[in-house]
Amino acid sequence: MSVIYKADYVLPMDGSDPHTPGEVWVESGKIIRVGQGISATNPQAQVKNLGKCAIMPGFVNAHSHIDYTLSRNSHDALNLWQWLHRVGFRKGQTPDYELIAASARLGAAECARSGITCLADCSFSGAAAYAIDEIGLRGIIYKELFGQSMGADYKRQFALVLEEIRRLQEAVSGRISIGISPHSIYTSAKEVLSLCAKTYADINIPLSIHLAETGAETQFALHGTGPIADWRRSLGYEVNPSGCTPVQILEDAGLLRENVLLAHCVHITDAEVKKISSSGAGVAHCPRSNAYLGAGIFPFSSFRAEDARTGIGTDSSATCLRIDFFEEMRFAAAIHRAKAQDAQAVSAKEILEMATKGGAAAIGMGDVTGQLKRGLRADIIALDLGAMLPGEDIYMSILSRSPADVILCLVDGLAVDEDIDARTQELAYLMEQHTIA
């Protein structure tokens, strides 16, 4: 099928200026051409004129956990380690799979409604892979593992995780890649991180890890002290100070490299920022989650100075309150300007670049999605600009939109299914039937 989408604004997000008006030609799920006058020279193609809209690449959510939608707003004022203890699906407090699957479906639909076409999601259950497949989104689902709870039997259990990854990859469409995610350096010992590095060398699957999210993580790693160390000891785990920072631990394990996505990176030095940036690893900046969990503020200016592959992530709606990518982007712009005491610290355009092209590069999918460019997949959104007044800056105007303004959301040129109401009802019904242990 060949369709030319036309609108008052087309933003390629590839470094070029917006086309006003502009057109995007989509054929067989791919972008064929972007620019002006395309329909005039191709009268055989179907034309969809969206009028006063902005067409742009869909957003890339560089770090999420859609499995956790059911825990949204369940507890207030928890620090990360308290959150992990109270809300996290740990041994003995994991909801039934049926419930997690419905939770993931609602989370996926909320992403789509928000203009997100591609996710990098960490999922312990694997339900997120089926959820984004069903809804029609693209993404990488990193199968999450907690190395410490595997105990001495970790090699056999790790092999089972790899088997599950293979099984999941076979069960879902080609839009979805299954990767692996050792949760963090404080829940997976060195031996498990090394096994992950070996896996990477053997089968080259994408990997993601939460890294340097809190100051407590650095304290845990360097000295074996602080609230995370205390929490791990209270659960019966051994805590041995390594004398290294979280970034050093990851580097020693051989996991600072391309196709590795580091979520958070809040508490790191400028030298470590340099190291991460030159390693080719991607970084997921989760501004609202870091703020609500009291974790801190991502060193945006340091990463920008090193031209790191950086995207924006919502984390789960159980830490950011709700999946609203526009709110996430606005919060990022506001907090970095406030921190720097400089309104020029980051522009609306730079935020939108991070949310599209930057996110795709961070998760290793820059040659697939994140820009309107010939040859990339047709992952496209259109935003209603009906309320836009003459003289508005187009990038600021887009940043001020909301999910209700997303009037078109395509992956591979096909509309994604974003029925939030039905999925909210389904999840609410199931939650009333189940008791979460």
Integer angstrom CA distances of residue 40 from 35, 90, 210, 404: 12, 59, 49, 32
Q: Which helix (H) or strand (E) holds 216?
A: helix 215-223
Which residue carries 């047709």 as its tokens?
378
- Nearest-10 crossing angle of helices 97-113, 420-433: 160
CB 185 within 8 A of CB 249: yes
Could you tell me the smallest distance in angstroms from the CB atom of residue 313 to Zn ion? 8
Could you tell me the smallest distance in angstroms from the CB atom of residue 407 to Zn ion? 30
Q: In terms of CB distance, is 315 or 418 closer to Zn ion?
A: 315
- Note the Cα 81 to chain centre separation in Å: 21
Q: In terms of CB distance, is 315 or 328 closer to Zn ion?
A: 315
Comparing C-alpha atoms, which of 41, 12, 57 is closest to residue 413?
Answer: 57
Q: In terms of CB distance, is 69 or 371 closer to Zn ion?
A: 69
Distance, CA of 121 to CA of 65 (rounded, Å): 5
Residue with the CB atom nearest Zn ion in the bound state: 315
Comparing C-alpha atoms, which of 291, 336, 338 is closest to residue 310?
Answer: 336
Could you tell me the smallest distance in angstroms from the CB atom of residue 382 to Zn ion? 30
First to last CA, the chain: 49
Comparing C-alpha atoms, which of 304, 396, 313, 287 is closest to residue 345?
Answer: 304
Q: In terms of CB distance, is 315 or 412 closer to Zn ion?
A: 315
Q: In terms of CB distance, is 61 or 356 closer to Zn ion?
A: 61
- Note the Cα 188 to chain centre separation in Å: 21
Could you tell me the smallest distance in angstroms from the CB atom of residue 315 to Zn ion? 5
Looking at this protein, which amino acid is placed at residue 89? F
Could you tell me the smallest distance in angstroms from the CB atom of residue 95 to Zn ion? 18
Could you tell me the smallest distance in angstroms from the CB atom of residue 107 to Zn ion? 13
10 Å CB burial of residue 343 (0-12, 13-18, 19+) is exposed
Distance, CA of 109 to CA of 103 (rounded, Å): 10
Residue numbers at the binding site for Zn ion (CB under 5 A): 315
Distance, CA of 20 to CA of 75 (rounded, Å): 46
Could you tell me the smallest distance in angstroms from the CB atom of residue 22 to Zn ion? 36
Q: In terms of CB distance, is 317 or 369 closer to Zn ion?
A: 317
Could you tell me the smallest distance in angstroms from the CB atom of residue 288 to Zn ion? 12
